[in-house]
Structure 1
Amino acid sequence: MTSSVSGPSPAPAGILVIHGGAGLDDHARAQAARWATRYMPATCTAPGVAGDRERVMAKVAALRDDPARLNRRASAGLDVLRSHAGPDAPVAAVGYCFGGLAALTMARQAAPIVAAVSIHGGLATVSPATPGSVSARLLVCHGAADPHVPFAQVEGFSDEMEAAGADWQLIMYGGAQHGFTHTHARPGETPGVAYDEVADTRSFAAAADFLATAFTDAAADAQ
């Protein structure tokens, strides 16, 4: 899923929006449209449909355990994005749930992005970043009450990024559970998953500001 953007950024830029573990569902489409609207005029493409949960989750697990393959898949999306935004435009990745893990994996694998944003995404990896390997700026928006990404993962991610010397930041939202941007999440339907309007609103604003700065600085560095 890709969204080419212009507007608040000083030059054309692009955002690769990566869906969660449920596949290309209504939430993923809504988030892509949300980012496209933020940076109007824009184009947003979202081909395909979400598959059945069992099949999708099996694919998610396989990709999670093979970071190099996950990065190759995500980088194919970057190729599509650059066909819209232009080959020299700064691009970033924003991911939700599994997509957040994918965005961070791209940064760990040195994909050509200026920034990566993980929103209620997985933070653990089987292939940690090495010193100096992460050039993209990182923003993690995390629910403090997320049982699917426990605090041990947060601590591990912090230690990993400090050891790698990455430019990273973490925002935790008190009381927010996993999937806090899913407006149609039904209370109790999936344990540990719930919509949180405050965390949703604040994380989008924080990510938008973070990306605006990253794009501005990237454009300045290119001059």
Structure 2
Amino acid sequence: MKIKILFAIAIMTICTGNLRGQGKVLAYTEGSAKLNGFYAAPTGKSNSAGILILPAWMGITAHEKTTAQRLSKLGYHVLAADIYGDGNQPKNPQEAGKLAGYYKSNIEKYHERIKAALNTLIKQGASPSQIAVMGYCFGGTGAIECARENFPVKAVISFHGGLGRDSSRTINPIKPKLLILHGANDPYESEQEIKAFQQEMKTAKADWQMIYLPNAVHAFTDPAAGTDPSKGAAYNEQADKRSWEYMLVFLKEIF
């Protein structure tokens, strides 16, 4: 077992070694709040397109940073947004739940934090007319909110994101395109909530697609989630790889 673990670590080191050194902590503000995002400049064949990453409930982690680095190598300006603010990185799931819950209950505040990150991404060189927003879990909810509010972005991508909305909110036509990547066995999204979301997209006349990843539960893209699907959240290598490829095809279409 020890040999297998060491071998896995070695493989990860080889695969991610060429990503080291890319990216930096980027300070910006939203009102009086101090925020610390993670920005990765485009390398290789550069273009003016930008991608904003909205983190899962634990805030910016190695998962979001690695994603930013991978996308920057494809030529994108990439910023992982800081939603919680300087000094508010949650230490455990309990703290993360409280913080994420605050922004879900105060959705306008979540919107403002996302707008501040979008403006920061543009200041780093991304074209205002060539931006996509992607998010994981809690961040997937934020990405969908960008579409609901018709933020000036071309498209949004949600990885195992929350689909729910306050039913009292008016459904307006949605302009950004949406790609929803959802674990087929995700226990945190009820069939009722999924159907309500799909009807919302139809009512909004959105250009949307929802792809179910087989045998995947919540957090299927995050290696830190473990590999036990019975817990409701677990990494799934096949779902992770497939969802990444679906995203790349989608990005190629919109850009």
TM above 0.5, yes or no, is yes
Once the two structures are superposed, residues 72-98 of structure 1 have per-residue CA deviations (whole angstroms, 9 ceiling, x without a partner) of: 111110011001234544101010010
1:118 is aligned to 158
Residue 178 of structure 2 corresponds to residue 178 of structure 1: no
- The counterpart of 2:106, out of the listed 52, 55, 66, is 66
1:51 is aligned to 90
Once the two structures are superposed, residues 4-61 of structure 1 have per-residue CA deviations (whole angstroms, 9 ceiling, x without a partner) of: 558778x510000111011112222222222223x13756677767322333321211
Conserved in 1, the CA contact under 8 Å of 2:51 and 2:78? no
1:1-223 counterparts in 2 under 5 A? 1=37, 2-3=39-40, 5=42, 11-37=47-73, 39-40=74-75, 50-53=89-92, 54-126=94-166, 128=169, 130-132=171-173, 134-188=174-228, 191-215=231-255
Larger Rg: 2
Aligned counterparts of 1:138 and 1:116: Cα–Cα separation in 2: 5
After superposing the two structures, state which structure 1 stretch, 111-120 or 184-193, moved more. Answer: 184-193
Q: Which runs of 5+ in 2 are unaligned?
A: 1-36
Aligned counterparts of 1:92 and 1:182: Cα–Cα separation in 2: 21
Aligned counterparts of 1:70 and 1:120: Cα–Cα separation in 2: 18
SS of the aligned residue for 2:203 comes to: helix
Where relative contact order (Cα < 8 A, 6+ residues apart) is larger, the structure is: 1
Percent identity over paired residues: 31
Aligned counterparts of 1:195 and 1:28: Cα–Cα separation in 2: 15
Aligned counterparts of 2:225 and 2:142: Cα–Cα separation in 1: 22
- What is the number of residues matched between the two proteins? 212
Once the two structures are superposed, residues 73-130 of structure 1 have per-residue CA deviations (whole angstroms, 9 ceiling, x without a partner) of: 1111001100123454410101001010000011111111100000011000116562
TM-score normalised to the size of structure 1? 0.84
TM-score normalised to the size of structure 2? 0.74
Conserved in 2, the CA contact under 8 Å of 1:129 and 1:164? no
Alpha-carbon distance change, 74 to 3 in structure 1, aligned in 2, over 3 angstroms: farther
Conserved in 1, the CA contact under 8 Å of 2:54 and 2:80? no
Instruction: Please report how far the alpha carbon of residue 185 of structure 1 lies from its aligned counterpart in structure 2 after TM superposition.
Output: 2.5
Code of the residue aligned with 2:54 in structure 1: it is: I
Q: CA RMSD in A?
A: 2.5
